[in-house]
Amino acid sequence: MIRSLYARLAIVLVGVVVLVGAAGIGVTMALNAVWVHEVRQQASASLAGQLVRAIDDAYASDGDPVALRRELERITLIDHVIEPYVLDASGRVLAFTGADRTLASERVSLAPIRAFLGGRASLPIMGDDPREAGGTKIFSVAPMSLGAGRDPGYLYVLVGGEVHDSVVRALRGSYVLRLAALVGLAALLIGLSGGLVGFFLLTRPLHALTEEVERFRRAEVMPRTDLEATAEPVRTDEIARLSGAFDHMAARVREQVTTLTERDALRRELVADVSHDLRTPLAVLRGYLETMRMKEATLGRAERLDYLGVAQRNAERLDGLIDTLFELARLDARDAPIDAEPFSVAELVQDVLASLTLAARDQGTELRFSSPPDLPFVRGEIALIERVLVNLLGNALRHTPADGRVEIGAASHNDDGEAVRFSIINTGETIPGADLPYVFERFYRSDTSRSRDETGMDAATSNAGLGLSIVKALVESQHGRVGVQSASGRTEFWFTLPRAE
């Protein structure tokens, strides 16, 4: 079975060319024969009338039928391509040339004769050939007197008689006809070759696209990049559009596969990190509870309260970690619509600072807030932005030493167009440069952060490295951006929010 589209098109083209060529040759020959017959019959329309006058003179001189036949023989000697017949009123042949030859039919149909004499029928008009059964030829006819006491008959002259037919048969293999046949065949071959080349050029892009799809199915190669696609000649036909659509589809599939792979890797990492971060407080909680149970008789009140405090803090850490995981899942699913509204930046920051002032005072950390008096309103969901500020300020307080300082600023930011930029700056320890690109990733914590108080005493409030991931997700859900920079004992976290219209 032929599967190639080009081969199928080639077979169809060959078949069409052969059929059209054969039909064209046949129709051309038929029309040419009709045209030649029409011209010859039109040119010889008066031939029978002229011959009747000559025959009437000879026949009337002696009235001898032999003389009539002799006169017909004389006519055929003058013009070898005609065959004269004398017919009676019913169409029966009375006299003809070549006495040694027999006739296939003794009678000729009068319908073509009447049509010719009527002058209204279109030429050519074909009449019966008495020498050939069922044969027809063009003719010329004229009424003719057959003598006293007899009805008038006809002089029926076939134009292109038996002699003419023999000459035509002899010339069928002539050089001119062979040359014409060769020219026609060459024209058909040239047309066929041109068609095959054209089909090849037209189907070559489709063949290339098929190979590309097949390679993509086998996952052997990546889809073409935009740069590779633009390097090819620009086409606008259907195959080009199909190829472009496939390239976009393949790139999209590759992108989705890459995304799924990354998400799967993230899921595996998430499971591992969650297992690790849940195991630590659980192990501490379990250890202290088991110690209390085993040493119940020997533990004093102060030690028992200390053990219970550690267990409670780790239970609170577990509760906070679980709440954080649920919040991340909700943000990823985006099942809650954003209830954005205009609000005052200064008022929200003051409310957040009021809730953290006592903790900062106990730590010995100074909180400062500065903003221009004409600071515009921003648009967002107040509760989510409050969570962002609480997370960033809590993170800053955790990493600011006693007698340190945390500064909160807000100002219009031209780089982001119509936006307001928030900044939270704290003094104290800095973030290593190698860690800066990853601080907003889930469960990412620097080595120094991981090594601090593995008993969970300080890490209980760190949300296992999820707090900054929540900050990024919340800010991006409000159509903002977030970033960090840290150097020379100074760390700045910033984010932007769109201005209210």
DSSP-based three-state secondary structure for 401: coil
**What is the Cα–Cα distance from 345 to 153, expressed in whole angstroms?**
125
pLDDT band of residue 220 (cuts 50, 70, 90) is low
Q: Is the pLDDT of residue 167 over 50?
A: yes
pLDDT of residue 387: 87
pLDDT of residue 60: 53
Which parts of 119-265 are beta strand (E)? 126-128, 136-144, 153-159
Q: 225-336 in CATH: which number?
A: 1.10.287.130
pLDDT of residue 169: 56
Centroid of chain to Cα 242: 2
Q: Return the amino acid letter for 330.
A: R
Q: Is the pLDDT of residue 496 over 90?
A: yes
Judging by beta carbons within 10 Å of its beta carbon (0-12, 13-18, 19+), is residue 132 exposed, middle or buried? middle
Q: To the nearest whole number, what is the mean pLDDT of the chain?
A: 79
More confident residue, 81 or 156: 156
pLDDT of residue 450: 42
pLDDT of residue 349: 93
* Number of residues assigned to the chain: 501
The domain 337-498 is placed in CATH, from the list 3.30.565.10, 3.30.70.260, 3.40.710.10, 3.40.50.150, at: 3.30.565.10
CA distances from 231 to 190, 244, 436 (A): 34, 13, 39
pLDDT band of residue 452 (cuts 50, 70, 90) is very low
Q: Is the pLDDT of residue 493 over 90?
A: yes
DSSP per-residue codes, 354-377 = HHHHHHHHHHT-EEEEE--TTPPP
Which parts of 284-334 are beta strand (E)? none
Give whichever of 145-149, 239-243, 313-317, 411-415 has the largest mean pLDDT.
Answer: 313-317
DSSP per-residue codes, 435-475 = TGGGTTSTT---HHHHHS-TTSTTGGGTGGGTHHHHHHHHH
219-229 average pLDDT score = 51
480 close to 419: Cβ distance less than 8 angstroms: yes
181-203 average pLDDT score = 80
165-184 average pLDDT score = 63
pLDDT in tens, 237-287: 667 777 777 778 888 888 888 888 887 887 777 677 667 667 778 888 888
CA 384, 492, 442 angle in degrees (round to 5)?
55
**What is the Cα–Cα distance from 184 to 169, expressed in whole angstroms?**
21
Give whichever of 2-16, 133-147, 208-222, 241-255 has the largest mean pLDDT.
Answer: 133-147
Give the percent of the chain with pLDDT over 90: 16
Centroid of chain to Cα 109: 69
Judging by beta carbons within 10 Å of its beta carbon (0-12, 13-18, 19+), is residue 61 exposed, middle or buried? exposed
pLDDT of residue 455: 41
pLDDT band of residue 494 (cuts 50, 70, 90) is very high
Q: Is the pLDDT of residue 332 over 80?
A: no
410-431 average pLDDT score = 84
pLDDT band of residue 230 (cuts 50, 70, 90) is very low
**What is the Cα–Cα distance from 477 to 475, expressed in whole angstroms?**
5
Could you tell me the residue ranges of all domains in the chain? Answer: 5-41+174-205, 44-171, 225-336, 337-498
Cis amide prior to 124 (ω within 30 degrees): yes
Q: Are strands 405-413 and 366-370 parallel, antiparallel or unpaired?
A: parallel
Class in CATH terms, 44-171: alpha beta
pLDDT in tens, 96-123: 876 666 788 889 999 999 999 888 888 8
